[in-house]
Structure 1
Amino acid sequence: MAAPDLRAKLDSQLLQLLEDLEELETKRTALNARVEEGWLSLAKARYAMGAKSVGPLQYASHMEPQVCVSASEAQDGPQTFRVVRSDALTPEEVGPGEAALRRRKGPTKTLEPEPSAALPDPLNWFGILVPHSLRQAQASFREGLQLAADIASLQTRIDWGQNQLRELQERLRQLEPGAA
């Protein structure tokens, strides 16, 4: 690769890195605002329902996650994170319904997927009619979780971009020993 092409690629990589850093700062600010809003709404709910009505004693004894964080990596790029609903099929559930195949006499039955029970809303732990502020807190924390996954993806993209930038600078130094 010629030096002018390498310099152009270096410039575009640097611009992309600066844009990513600016986006990271914006998302971090938004995450802080969401978390602060969530805690404020939670405090309002505790005030409206009573301090003992919203607390660890109302949590279910066995909790199921409603969302999971999934990581995927491209072959030539950075790792990305995304929030997925946990009621989606997992790879273990996609496999065969039985451990071994058996020959049966008579008509063959097709296995029907079992209807997955929807996960209950955790707000129901605190009663049927919960204050609006508790619903706002739940929504704020959900948005915060999505922002956290976006921030993690962005941070890995920035780290990957910095490594690419260093590699391009090193190649430019090898091509032009006095420059760079």
Structure 2
Amino acid sequence: MAAAELRAELDSRLLQLLGDLEDLEAKRAALNARVEQGWLALSQARYAMGAKAVGPLQYASRMEPQVCVCTGEAQDGLQRFWVARAGAQTPEEVGPRETGLRRRKGLTRTAELESSQAPRDPLNWFGILVPHSLRQAQASFREGLQLAADMATLQIRVDWGRSQLRGLQEKLKQLEPGAAQPVTTEAGQ
């Protein structure tokens, strides 16, 4: 009876692994398409604005990230990745930073702090009226970044699923010698 339950668990894990591999392959194809669209839109913007108007010479001397990749633990205990806006506060960071009372005088100081903390849009480095293709390139690369974070999460799930399959195969091999054959997959390596 234990061998039958073990085989059912093995089948279930294998189906989950195959589903994750299918999702991973779809996300890889989507990422490739997004990057391709981004480069195409960027080359269109360079053509519209001129090759020298869109290039490294227009980059700001001091760059600040607009997004950051965060990591945490999912419900199943595996590590997961997601993209968050830079400067966005997590629930743990919200609350008073100082203890005691503060005296507020004037609005100039707080206005300066707020303006310096807000991330600036990098498209403004290239002028105020940038071509639509440059905005499309930015959006495409942002979507690609989210896809890359999703792919990293899926890759962790695939690796965990493979290790679980190997463990179940070993248990089945101990119960029924010669019954379990190793399952090999080519994706991810």
Name the stretch that deviates more: 83-92 or 143-152: 83-92
1:178 alignment partner, SS class: coil
Match of 2:84 in 1: 84
TM-score, normalised by the number of residues in structure 1: 0.85
Match of 1:15 in 2: 15
Contact 1:70 1:81 in 2 (8 A): yes
Distance 2:92 2:6 in 1: 46
2:129 alignment partner, SS class: coil
Mapped pair 1:156 → 2:156: yes
Cα deviation 1:31-78 (Å, max 9, x = unaligned): 001001100100000010011100011111111101111111348532
Distance 2:75 2:122 in 1: 38
Mapped pair 1:126 → 2:126: yes
User: By how many angstroms is 1:109 displaced?
Assistant: 4.5
Percentage identity across paired residues of the two chains: 73
User: By how many angstroms is 1:110 displaced?
Assistant: 8.7
Match of 2:140 in 1: 140
Cα deviation 1:65-104 (Å, max 9, x = unaligned): 0111111134853211110111212699658635xx67xx
Distance 2:103 2:50 in 1: 53
Match of 1:105 in 2: none
Residue type of the alignment partner of 2:13: Q
User: By how many angstroms is 1:26 displaced?
Assistant: 0.8
Contact 1:68 1:83 in 2 (8 A): yes
**For structure 1, which runs of at least 5 residues remain unmatched after alignment?**
103-107
TM-score, normalised by the number of residues in structure 2: 0.81
User: By how many angstroms is 1:179 displaced?
Assistant: 1.6
Match of 1:36 in 2: 36
Distance 2:103 2:85 in 1: 27
Match of 2:71 in 1: 71
CA RMSD of aligned residues (A): 2.6
Residue type of the alignment partner of 1:163: S
2:82 alignment partner, SS class: strand
Match of 2:183 in 1: none
Match of 1:50 in 2: 50
Aligned residue pairs, count: 172
1:12 alignment partner, SS class: helix
Contact 1:77 1:160 in 2 (8 A): no
